[in-house]
Structure 1
Amino acid sequence: MNNYKIGYEQLTPPEKKAYGIFEKAFSSCAKSVDSSAINRSVDVMKVLQVALGDNPRVIYFNKTQIKVSSSLLGGKQIHFCGTYSSSQIRRMNQEIDKVVSSITEELLLLNPLSDYDKLMCIYEYLQDHVVYDSKELEYTCKHGSSLNPKSHNAYGALVEKRAVCDGISAAFSLLAQEMGYSCTIVSGSATFMTNGFSSHAWNLIRVGDKYYHIDATWDINHYHQTNEYSYEYFCVNDDSINTDHNWDINTTPACNYEDLSFYIKSGCYANTLSQIDEIFTRYAKSKTQVVRLRVSDRIAIPEPSDTFLAQKLIDISSHYRGGSSIQFGWNKDTRCFFALYT
């Protein structure tokens, strides 16, 4: 269905055969798949998730209600519940094609020249236009079913402007693919907005010969809390995202680079305490209202870290702005500090 198959590339030959069966089913909007032709050693649900991750245009059924039953031939029957009618599917596909084309044209008018600029345009667009569907998350966690199935796919995010993590990830993937990037959805778990780990989805993208993790969902939430763009989970590596995300690392290529991280590209990444001072000084002199900093995990910061960094920023700012007050936050997992002069 598409040529951007990062997930597919990680599969074994028997798994790739199963993947092909699922893709064929997606292309015909099938309501079920008989897995009797699939090697019994294959974890069909794992492959299904990989196939859905590579194909963000699949929007014709309720992704929270995939059921399994035994088939007459001894295999498994995979049921895609909550499928829409043919006319609904046709209308929804037309709508999302139109929206994706319109968004892409809008972003290209910004004249993004580099890979970094193009991906940042997508990232900021989603923060500007998509709201996290907290009501859907609450309902799904409580009832194990969906109140609004569209919040789990790209249609919900791009057409209705409201989605949860898998819908937001599908939207990012779809727009990135439209711009020519290989991008997939990673299914795993994470700690955001929960006590402990719970199911979560985010993206993995290939730029040239390098791979990066992107979690637009968490930065969308931060954006709506502060009304300022957030980039904590933009183009990070395995080690960085592994602090608060879990997934089967064997299903994804290694992400070893962070050269496209906002903090590195913007000179806001500190490897030493003196670099923190230098970055804060630059912000204080610039008169900007927003301060962003990421601190290397090699630096020991006195506890409480947020208060230490906030006071350091206030002390430095006093030399250039007089008496300054700030609102601030600190993400201990990403080691990102955010402050807003008030």
Structure 2
Amino acid sequence: MRKKMHQTGKFFSFILLGLGCLCLISGGILIGRQMSATPKAESSAPEEVPYEQEKITDAEVTGEFYYEQLSDKEQTVYREILQGIQKNKKEIYLHCNNANTANEVFQNVLNDRPEIFWCDGNATSTEYSQSEGQSRYVVIEPNYLYEGEEKEQRNQEIESARATCLSGISDLSDEYEKIKYIYTYLIDNVDYDLDAPDNQNIYSALVGKRSVCAGYAKSCQYLLQQLGIYCIYVTGQTTDPNGGIADHAWNIVQCNGQYYYVDATWGDPIFLGEDNGYQIPNLIAYDYLCCSEKELEKTHMISTDYVYPSCQSENLNYYQLNGMYYDTYEPGILREVIDRSIESQEAYTVFKMSDDAVYQDVVDEMHETLMEEGAGYLGELYGLWQVSYSYSEEASLNKFIIYWFYE
């Protein structure tokens, strides 16, 4: 029996705060799926293989990313597996002569179909030989988490959660606003939890409100598909500042004709707690909303098993769209931004730089003059004799944030 298993891991992101040093855990863990491929010759194999009549048509699955990567024969196997899983078939007879191929196609089905929450991703595939001169075939046995009434009950809970989520979207919203809404919704409503049950499927995130990267990414895919937005579930690895590597899952979306990466798991802020008695707000990291390869490849490495759409466009960079992006070092402009932020009593001021050089210039200027000058202006403007502030440096993202306290 041959097993394929992903390793588990964590990504640690370190943020240096002005009043101390906090260690934050972000990213996700893709718990391994176990699949076995057992080539086996059976003398008792039936003369007539009990294939189920195929009812799923090519039109029903055409356009699904992983389905489109397959040969015609593999697409037949894909449809047979999908039909069997939908019916919770214990044994699915496949027009396939290789157990490893069956396992790979099985994974393709799950990657395309986030709504399949009742199958845990494990399956055993066995090759059989018929009489001499006849073709081999494969029987795949998926491992089901839920069946019957329990499956139906959980499906209803998912449908209810879906309706609640999508009720907040206006029909007039454009594609970017819809993607941003789903990204923010998942971050606001789901907690990252390694111990969450069912954390490899959408039930954990949408109903249980606790999950890991697989739950975030599949829920993002599921909800965007409900909105008619093309979304791919992808896997790969991430690296931490110390060179550690962990398996991870995220998404590729198509928006206004361009492809972008979306990683709601890494967009989810980790609770910072208090710093010297002051509550530091949790900020959603929009660095992973509709971002480009240039941005994501600093920390993510996508699987090379497939050729994925290229994500080159930076047109939807959140910080560019919201006036927080700087591609040149101009201290005067930075000071104006700080002053306007303080005048509006904003809790924080965000600076996102285009590259490492601009980032370092900005960080140096912040420490030398700008933060102290900003604090002085805050005290003068609001009549405070003592002013407190904090800051975070996120070098991997070229991002600097100042937190202002007005009391």
1:321 aligned residue:
378
Q: Deviations over 1:303-338 (max 9, x none)?
A: 9x8676555651452464247543333333332333
1:127 aligned residue:
187
2:350 aligned residue:
292
Amino acid at match of 1:339: I
Q: Deviations over 1:83-141 (max 9, x none)?
A: 31211111111111121012101333xx76332222222122112211011335xxxxx
Q: 8 Å contact 1:241–1:334 — kept in the other structure?
A: no
Amino acid at match of 1:116: Y
> Greater strand percent: which structure?
2
2:159 aligned residue:
97
1:331 aligned residue:
394
CA distance in structure 1 between the aligned counterparts of 2:394 and 2:69, rounded to whole angstroms:
32
1:144 aligned residue:
none
1:219 aligned residue:
267
Distance 1:176 1:223, change over 3 A: farther
Secondary structure of 1:80's counterpart equals strand
2:404 aligned residue:
341
> Greater helix percent: which structure?
1
- In the alignment, which of 210, 216, 220 is matched to residue 258 of structure 2? 210
CA distance in structure 2 between the aligned counterparts of 1:312 and 1:3, rounded to whole angstroms:
58
Aligned length: 323
CA distance in structure 1 between the aligned counterparts of 2:208 and 2:389, rounded to whole angstroms:
35
Secondary structure of 2:316's counterpart equals coil
CA distance in structure 1 between the aligned counterparts of 2:236 and 2:159, rounded to whole angstroms:
28
Distance 1:47 1:295, change over 3 A: farther
CA distance in structure 2 between the aligned counterparts of 1:312 and 1:75, rounded to whole angstroms:
73
Q: 8 Å contact 2:349–2:403 — kept in the other structure?
A: yes
CA distance in structure 1 between the aligned counterparts of 2:293 and 2:70, rounded to whole angstroms:
19
CA distance in structure 2 between the aligned counterparts of 1:193 and 1:33, rounded to whole angstroms:
45
Answer 1 or 2: higher relative contact order, Cα 8 Å, separation at least 6.
2
CA distance in structure 1 between the aligned counterparts of 2:71 and 2:332, rounded to whole angstroms:
50
Distance 1:95 1:234, change over 3 A: same
Distance 1:121 1:222, change over 3 A: same
1:58 aligned residue:
116
Q: 8 Å contact 1:192–1:218 — kept in the other structure?
A: no
Larger radius of gyration: 2
Question: What's the CA shift for 1:71?
Answer: 2.5
Moved more, 206-215 or 186-195: 186-195
1:227-246 equivalent positions in 2, closer than 5 A: 227-246=282-301
Amino acid at match of 1:155: Y
Moved more, 186-195 or 163-172: 186-195
Distance 1:205 1:319, change over 3 A: same
TM-score when normalising by structure 1: 0.81
Q: Give me the identity figure in percent.
A: 24
Q: Does 1:191 pair with 2:239?
A: yes
Stretches of structure 1 that go unaligned for 5 or more consecutive residues are: 137-147
1:140 aligned residue:
none
Distance 1:72 1:47, change over 3 A: closer
